Amino acid sequence: MYYYIINPAAGNGKINKIQDKLKGILSEFGIAGEFVKSTGPGDIPKLTEIGVKKGYNTIVAIGGDGTVNEVLNNLNSESIAFGIVPVGKNNLLADSLGIAGWENACQILAARKTIKINIGKVVTSETTRYFINNVSLGLEASIRKDFPVSPKKATEKIKNRAFILKQISSYKSRPIKFSIDNNLSGEAQALNIKIANASLFGKSPSFRISFGENIARKEKVDFLKTADIKSLVRNKENTILYGDNLIIKTSGLPVSADDQFIGTSPIEVKIADRKARIIVGTVKAP
């Protein structure tokens, strides 16, 4: 029994253009089910809870990264399979789970290959959120806050990249106080901190923690070519640490989870006490 949660605003309303075709393909695969639509902020958590209460064994988010993260954060049962149909402007989560597009997603949902994955839990000064891939603090999260979506028009893309490069130039590294696993404490000068969920791929310790002090010229050139914000923080000279529990004590740093801005530091990051059962294609490393 499939329960589909649609965000009609995702991808500038892309789902409204493909909805009939999508439903037709799902029906051909024999996985048609109940479709519900959000009508405004706060709807997706409520719709997720309704799907759980109705006893559906598969709940699918139809939207972008924001929609996926909202459903994930309100799906508390490991017995329910979680699927994704990516139709948003940003579909990085779907991509990392091997879901290439909405048509490919239909095939993956029909195949229903599921894995149970460890999901992360991040507690900020404002909220508690769960995440699949990563948490960022500093520059990347600041960009996610100010530029939450990627424009499609060429002129808007050029302006967008110019504004981001300007922000990069003005954003300064800060001394960051941290502790890992309650046995390592320190201070690092960092422009950006990236915490990747390594346990997603069966690795231990759970998190790969990257401290980036600057952005190399190559990363800026790569960003101009691809507009991929992640390319800005892939400096090979970053300091890498590993751990199962991370506390960032420094306050006032912007924080993003799964590429969605969620609040500010201080934060604590650890593996959640529950797993997520996700329908996947081929999982990629973050």
Digit-coded pLDDT (tens) for 162-208: 777 777 777 888 899 999 998 999 999 898 999 999 887 677 889 99
Domain that holds residue 239: 122-272
% of the chain residues with pLDDT over 90: 53
> Quick one: 44 and 144 in the same domain?
no
For the ranges 72-86, 145-159, 161-175, 270-284, the maximum mean pLDDT occurs at 72-86
> Quick one: 235 and 146 in the same domain?
yes
Burial (CB count <10 Å: 0-12, 13-18, 19+), residue 172: exposed
220: left (phi over 0), alpha (psi -120 to 50) or beta: alpha
Determine the Cα–Cα distance for residues 265 and 140; give it in Å rounded to an integer: 14
Looking at residue 103, its pLDDT comes to: 94
Give the least confident one: 43-47, 155-159, 240-244.
155-159
> Quick one: 200 and 94 in the same domain?
no
- Residue 285 within a domain: no
How many CA atoms does the CB half-sphere of 167 hold within 13 Å?
Answer: 19
Query: What's the mean pLDDT when you consider all of the chain?
Result: 86
How far apart, in Å, are the Cα atoms of 59 and each of 2, 97, 112? 6, 16, 12
> Quick one: 84 and 138 in the same domain?
no
> Quick one: 68 and 205 in the same domain?
no
> Quick one: 127 and 176 in the same domain?
yes
State the angle between helix axes of 154-170 and 139-146 in degrees (0 to 180), rounded to the nearest 10.
140
> Quick one: 62 and 144 in the same domain?
no
Number of domains within the chain: 2
CATH of the domain at 178: 2.60.200.30
Looking at residue 170, its pLDDT comes to: 77
> Quick one: 48 and 92 in the same domain?
yes
Looking at residue 230, its pLDDT comes to: 58
Give the least confident one: 11-15, 84-88, 102-106, 136-140.
11-15
> Quick one: 21 and 70 in the same domain?
yes
Looking at residue 167, its pLDDT comes to: 75
CATH of the domain at 23: 3.40.50.10330
Tens-place pLDDT, residues 249-261? 999 999 999 888 9
Looking at residue 239, its pLDDT comes to: 87
Read off the DSSP letter of residue 8. Answer: T
Burial (CB count <10 Å: 0-12, 13-18, 19+), residue 132: buried
